[in-house]
Amino acid sequence: MATLNLPVFPDNSPQSFYDRLVATAVVPATGKPDPAAMTRFYATHPPAARAMTILKQHPPTPGFADSVFSGLNAFYFVSESGVRTPVRWSLIPQQHALPPSSGPDALFEPLVRQLRSGPLRWRLVLTVGRRDDPTNDATLPWPADRRTIDAGVLTLDSVSAEAEGNARDINFDPLVLPPGIEPSDDPLLSARSAVYAASYRRRTGENTL
């Protein structure tokens, strides 16, 4: 399950995501991206501009422990009788975060300190979409009045330093799904699947000795 602490995804298509990367490329003469390039990008990509407006209304929380982590792509939950229901999900924090520290581990250090005092928990909440809710555009939030289902609790009770080569054999393919869950028509899903497959092949080919 891939989740982000964002209310919507910045782009609704692989092409838009690629065009954003091009627009944010660093200009060698200045060492910074060209602001005019981003202005042109948003002018030609209205869904991305709309998403940025939504993102600016939801500033980041102080730390990891109080962040909402959402699966921004829609999927279908399929009943035994074949009824397909669009669903999105979120992990809702059950605690506040300690203030961030300084340095490169500014967010990780407070999380470790909190875990020493006890487990951290997030509620897994499923949002049930309706037939007319967009399933192919991750820049569009679903209406706030949609039915939700409290599906469980994620409990984090320990943490360890990342081992060398720890992610080598992990494939974050969003289309490797259990029975009863099917992908929606969101074009980001197939693109992510292809990119993560290429990443997995490269990582598993690395010499970890």
Question: What are 127-163's pLDDT values in tens digits?
Answer: 999 999 999 999 999 999 999 999 999 999 998 887 7
Contact in structure between 101 and 110 (CB atoms under 8 Å)? yes
User: Which pLDDT score is estimated for 143?
Assistant: 96
Total domain count for the chain? 1
Residue 73 resides in a domain: yes
**6 pLDDT more than 90:** yes
User: Which pLDDT score is estimated for 169?
Assistant: 78
Residue labelled with tokens 């997030």:
122
Torsion of CA 109, 112, 113, 119, to 10 degrees: 150
User: Which pLDDT score is estimated for 205?
Assistant: 81
Kindly report the pTM of this predicted structure.
Answer: 0.88
User: Which pLDDT score is estimated for 172?
Assistant: 84
**What is the domain range of residue 77?**
62-163+170-204
3-state secondary structure of 191: helix
Using pLDDT thresholds of 50, 70 and 90, give the confidence band for residue 208.
Answer: low
**165 pLDDT more than 70:** no
Q: What CATH number has the domain bearing residue 187? A: 2.40.180.10
Residue 44 resides in a domain: no
Question: What are 35-81's pLDDT values in tens digits?
Answer: 999 999 999 999 999 999 999 999 889 899 999 999 999 999 999 99
Residue 128, beta-bridge partner list: 87
User: Which pLDDT score is estimated for 183?
Assistant: 97
Residue 77 resides in a domain: yes
End-to-end CA gap in the chain: 30
